């Protein structure tokens, strides 16, 4: 059931009406859990059983961890939760990849290996709800959170349908308390939630889905296009994946808000970043924070105790490498993560050298210059696009083809198959998006001052109209296009 489908619009309308008609917390939670299981089970009831199993394991482990003070027993329970969760994730997501790679390696060194791998279908959203459930157990183990006593509330925390399939990855400390309090319908929350839904679906349907055919055509056969077309397709993919993923996140946040809940913001204008650290604080924020809290900080503390000038950078490279691997079972994703780990470590090393220099040094004067900000944003976007080549390509050999093709104005074969007019139209879409986000980012205070009385009612009317138009567009389109991050 896709957000951008007529089926979901009907589903949300029915859930919304029943939810607010009930008006009491516990029956509302029962309705939301049933709706969430229906939403997820629409893909496959087998996937739903896996989700339920993960929920029961971590709920039980959390209770057992809180019930004992024995250090060894608590650690054993934590290891059990980690093993079960990562075992599910590893089997469904990485089993086939590692078996096929092992077979190729054995054949390369002279052993004839023929291992038939299982045809495993990746359960949708498993990477997201696994990390969300696992973070709860770790927080209980660390004493940051009391073990949840209500299976209903915990199951709803894991399966809450707006963010179940592609995040944001919520923390129990933020979302669970919201399920425990009474909710009252608020017109302002409904209006702002509806606006988020409209904006999210606009980014997905109008921008991402129009960029996709161009990007898919070029990346399907990079040898057939010129260097400028390869460059254009890479830039287009940067905006396709941003509008696709942030569009999902905005729709999820808006949907939750209409029901009285607030999800964390997952994107914060990432393409306005001026350095790699800032970019990952603005891009897929919930994933970055998850790895920071549960992997990077423990690794950094361990490496710092070991000493050595490079110890502080190891944690960055390892964490980013695993973030890349989290996205999928392919060498391109691992290299994508390692690429960002090296970029971040290099940036921090250079920054520390500059900081250690004399206060009046040339480097510090340049670092503080206002005129450098636009150059930093453009340079950072180029670094981001280089990383997106690794992310979008299907193999490392294709990455090489694209990079070498970009270095030649005529590309590898010198053949141009994508229309110039189509590219110009797509550039206009991107320009409009950039302008809209720039204005929004720099006029939020002014907008909040003006958003009252008649102005607010006007905006709401336009939001309602936009929702109706988008519903019509999707219905007429026939088949709604899936979101990119559903495959992760």
- On whether the CB atoms of residues 5 and 15 are closer than 8 A, the answer is no
Cα Rg for the chain, rounded, in angstroms?
24
Q: What is the DSSP string of 280-328?
A: HHHSSHHHHHHHIIIIIHHHHHHHHHH--TTHHHHHHHHHHHHHHHHT-
Q: Which helix (H) or strand (E) element contains residue 189?
A: helix 187-202
Q: Which helix (H) or strand (E) element contains residue 458?
A: helix 453-477
Q: Can you tell me the distance from the alpha carbon of 108 to that of 312, in angstroms, rounded to the nearest whole number?
A: 37
- The rounded Cα 9 to chain-centroid distance in angstroms is 23
Q: Can you tell me the distance from the alpha carbon of 275 to that of 433, in angstroms, rounded to the nearest whole number?
A: 21
Which residues are known catalytic residues? 327
What the block records as the tokens of 121 is 């279908």
Show the DSSP H helices in 42-125 as ranges: 45-67, 71-108
Cα of first residue to Cα of last residue in the chain, in angstroms, is: 16
Sign of CA dihedral 13, 17, 20, 23: negative
Of 471, 141, 484, residue with least CA distance to 328: 484
Q: Can you tell me the distance from the alpha carbon of 451 to that of 245, in angstroms, rounded to the nearest whole number?
A: 27
């Amino acid at each position: 059931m896709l957000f951008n489908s007529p089926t979901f619009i009907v589903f949300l309308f029915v859930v919304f009406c029943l939810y607010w008609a009930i008006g009491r917390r516990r029956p509302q939670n029962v309705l939301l859990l049933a709706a969430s299981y229906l939403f997820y089970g629409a893909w496959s009831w087998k996937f739903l059983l896996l989700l339920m199993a993960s929920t029961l394991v971590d709920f039980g482990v959390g209770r057992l961890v809180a019930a004992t003070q024995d250090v060894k027993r608590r650690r054993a329970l934590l290891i059990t939760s980690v093993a079960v969760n990562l075992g599910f994730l590893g089997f469904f997501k990485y089993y086939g990849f590692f078996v096929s790679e092992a077979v190729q390696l054995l054949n390369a060194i002279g052993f004839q290996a023929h291992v038939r791998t299982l045809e495993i279908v990746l359960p949708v959203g498993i990477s997201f709800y696994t990390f969300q459930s696992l973070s709860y157990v770790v927080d209980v183990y660390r004493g940051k959170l009391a073990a949840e006593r209500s299976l209903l509330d915990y199951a709803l925390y894991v399966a809450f349908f707006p963010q179940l399939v592609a995040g944001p990855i919520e923390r129990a400390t933020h979302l669970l308390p919201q399920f425990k309090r009474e909710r009252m319908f608020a017109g302002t929350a409904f209006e702002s939630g509806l606006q988020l839904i409209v904006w999210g679906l606009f980014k997905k349907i109008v921008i991402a889905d129009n960029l996709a055919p161009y990007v898919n055509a070029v990346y399907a056969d990079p040898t057939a296009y010129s260097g400028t077309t390869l460059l254009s397709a890479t830039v287009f993919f940067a905006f396709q994946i941003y509008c696709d993923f942030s569009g999902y996140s905005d729709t999820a946040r808006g949907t939750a808000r209409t029901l009285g809940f607030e999800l964390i913001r997952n994107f914060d204008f990432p393409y306005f970043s001026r350095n790699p650290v800032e970019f990952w604080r603005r891009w897929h924020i919930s994933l970055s924070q998850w790895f920071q809290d549960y992997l990077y900080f423990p690794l950094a503390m361990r490496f710092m105790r070991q000493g050595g000038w490079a110890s502080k950078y190891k944690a960055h490279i390892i964490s980013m490498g695993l973030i890349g691997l989290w996205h999928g079972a392919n060498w391109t994703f691992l290299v994508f993560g390692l690429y960002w780990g090296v970029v971040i470590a290099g940036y921090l090393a250079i920054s520390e050298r500059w900081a250690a220099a004399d206060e009046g040094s040339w480097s510090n004067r340049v670092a503080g210059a206002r005129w450098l900000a636009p150059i930093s944003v453009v340079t950072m976007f180029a670094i981001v696009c280089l990383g997106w080549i690794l992310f979008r390509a299907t193999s490392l050999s294709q990455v090489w083809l694209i990079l070498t093709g970009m270095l030649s104005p005529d590309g590898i074969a010198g053949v141009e198959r994508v229309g110039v007019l189509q590219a110009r139209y797509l550039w206009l879409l991107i320009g409009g998006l950039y302008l809209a986000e720039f204005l929004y980012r720099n006029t939020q205070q002014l907008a909040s001052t003006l958003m009252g009385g008649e102005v607010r009612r006007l905006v709401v009317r336009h939001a309602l109209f936009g929702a109706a138009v988008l519903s019509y567009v999707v219905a007429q389109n026939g088949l709604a296009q899936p979101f990119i991050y559903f495959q992760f």
